[in-house]
Structure 1
Amino acid sequence: MQTFFQYHSEQDPFRLFSIEHIITIAIIFVFCLFLFFLRRKLEKQGIRRVLRFFLLFLLLVFDVSHHIWLASENAWTLKDDLPLHLSDLAVLLAIVMLLTKSLGLFQFLFFAGLGSSIQAILTPDLGRFSFPHFQYVEFFISHGGVVLTCLFMVLAYQYRPTLRSLWMTVLIVNIYGVCVFFLNKWLGANYLYIMNKPKNASLLDFLGPWPWYLLSVEVIMIISFFLLYSPFWLKKKLEGS
């Protein structure tokens, strides 16, 4: 148990696309499929309410536990542990969305939250925390929970992203990025990986040196948002014809 929570872990470091990582991705994917196949059941208000509060509880407990764990290990710092990475902020916004059922918040989270969480799941910056360390478990439950939450709102409440909300999200993320840049300068931090690339392998490794990879990230972000929107666009086209 001590090894499970030990901050200075003696486990092997996280390896991208290791067997454990692939199995974890597969489990999240299976839960998404399970939610999709149960979409008719989600029309019942009782089941919908239970699942909504279960997701809310799951995200809240693991997010709070993560910060308590860091504080108990004397490892929490302003420089590294504020929820300012887009995928970390998405966890907090997903909790608020589940509480309020806000359509406006969904419109933002569907693109920024879903896109950043999928990227985090595929190329996590976990360093020395490999399975079954608490940090590993918390990371994938939190980010996988955001993916499930967005899918849940689509299936249970028939919330839909729009083309307008896509471009509004692009604008908001860029304004947010500028604010985080100045906060990084003040704290000597690297939130959003604006100042330099993460130490572990990530998509940014293929996008050139700083600051040029920031332009590439902008293009990739817009493309990924359109990919997320494409099933709804295609559905509209098919219904129109």
Structure 2
Amino acid sequence: MTLLSFFSQGNSPEFIMFSAQHGIVIGVIILFVLGLYIGRHRIRRNRIVASAIRYGLVVVLALTEIGLNTWYFANDLWDVRYTLPLELCSVTLILSIIMLLARSNKLYQILYFAGIAGAFQALITPALAYGYPHFRYFEYFIAHGAIVLSPLYMTWIEQQRPTWKSIGWSLLFLNVLALVVGTVNYLLGSNYMFLNHKPDTASALDLLGPYPYYLLAEEGVALFFFVGMYSLFFVLPAKRKKRLASESIYKSKGVDS
């Protein structure tokens, strides 16, 4: 593939959901997540490495957004109705940069849920027309993978933790964002965040019914995912740790007696 075809609008391989090109890139992102988790203790002890990862994520997030808008302009595609950073993942990408730079716990409380869940859905059912090895293919998956990794970095390396209240704040954030974006859609005739209709490509929204019912269903799905994420990764491990500690104390008392 030439540089022109790599970056141009036309002559692109088609992206096929759940194909090898999809599965491989998801596998690569999972490896990065596992690597961050497995190495969390060593990274935490080495502030130089931790800072390099934090600022590296900032650079990756910024470059993907700059690259995307450069691609829009280069191909004469930039249009306020379609290319403003008003999709959920575009907003969480920008907020992730701010969160990482400021080590903001307030943004973390929202992005752990809204950022990871939104990017995860986008990774599993991409609204993407350009396949491997086009620029948009790499930009899309690198950006969404970095959005997932950013709150995980804050969790495993900076040791920040969400709470039950974080779920409420995340849902409030999503609804306020939908109100703002919906107003923009009304003024511009746009469809940011797919508030007016579903994407043209297949997506998870196809499972949630027709307009406008899928918008209401999204509320329930978001709540389900947020509660599941918090319970699976924080509540259950805490209960298991507490149970093991209690068993250890009981056994030690038995030995002493």
State the AA in 1 paired with 2:28: I
Counterpart secondary structure, 1:126:
coil
Flag as ranges the 4+ runs of structure 1 deviating above 2 A. 235-241
Whole-Å separation in 2 of the counterparts to 1:33 and 1:177: 32
Whole-Å separation in 1 of the counterparts to 2:136 and 2:228: 30
The equivalent of 2:248 in structure 1 is none
The equivalent of 2:239 in structure 1 is 237
More displaced 10-residue stretch of structure 1: 70-79 or 195-204? 70-79
Check conservation: 2:82, 2:190, Cα contact below 8 A.
yes
The question of 1:96 aligning with 2:98 is answered yes
Counterpart secondary structure, 1:75:
coil
The equivalent of 1:70 in structure 2 is 72
Check conservation: 1:166, 1:225, Cα contact below 8 A.
yes
The equivalent of 1:164 in structure 2 is 165
Counterpart secondary structure, 1:114:
helix
The equivalent of 1:208 in structure 2 is 209
Alignment of 1:22-171 (within 5 A): 22-43=23-44, 44-127=46-129, 129-171=130-172
State the AA in 1 paired with 2:173: I
More displaced 10-residue stretch of structure 1: 10-19 or 78-87? 10-19
1:116 to partner: Cα distance: 0.3
The equivalent of 2:21 in structure 1 is 20
1:214 to partner: Cα distance: 0.9
Check conservation: 2:69, 2:78, Cα contact below 8 A.
yes
Counterpart secondary structure, 1:78:
coil
Count of residue correspondences? 239
1:32 to partner: Cα distance: 0.4
Counterpart secondary structure, 1:169:
helix
TM-score by length of 2: 0.90
More displaced 10-residue stretch of structure 1: 134-143 or 42-51? 42-51
Check conservation: 1:42, 1:155, Cα contact below 8 A.
no
Alignment RMSD (CA, Å)? 1.1
Whole-Å separation in 2 of the counterparts to 1:238 and 1:92: 36
Larger radius of gyration: 2
The question of 1:223 aligning with 2:195 is answered no
State the AA in 2 paired with 1:58: V
Whole-Å separation in 1 of the counterparts to 2:11 and 2:70: 21
Kindly provide the CA deviation profile for residues 203-231 of structure 1, in whole angstroms up to 9, marking residues without a partner as x: 11121110011111111111111121121
The equivalent of 1:2 in structure 2 is 4
Q: Give structure 1 stretches of 5+ with no counterpart.
A: none
Check conservation: 1:90, 1:146, Cα contact below 8 A.
yes
Kindly provide the CA deviation profile for residues 149-176 of structure 1, in whole angstroms up to 9, marking residues without a partner as x: 1111111110111100111110121121
Whole-Å separation in 2 of the counterparts to 1:13 and 1:164: 42
Counterpart secondary structure, 2:95:
helix
Check conservation: 2:13, 2:134, Cα contact below 8 A.
no
Whole-Å separation in 2 of the counterparts to 1:208 and 1:51: 41
1:238 to partner: Cα distance: 2.5
State the AA in 1 paired with 2:121: Q
State the AA in 2 paired with 1:39: R
TM-score by length of 1: 0.96
1:239 to partner: Cα distance: 3.5
Check conservation: 1:59, 1:91, Cα contact below 8 A.
yes
Counterpart secondary structure, 1:157:
coil
1:72 to partner: Cα distance: 1.8
Whole-Å separation in 1 of the counterparts to 2:25 and 2:103: 28
1:12 to partner: Cα distance: 3.4
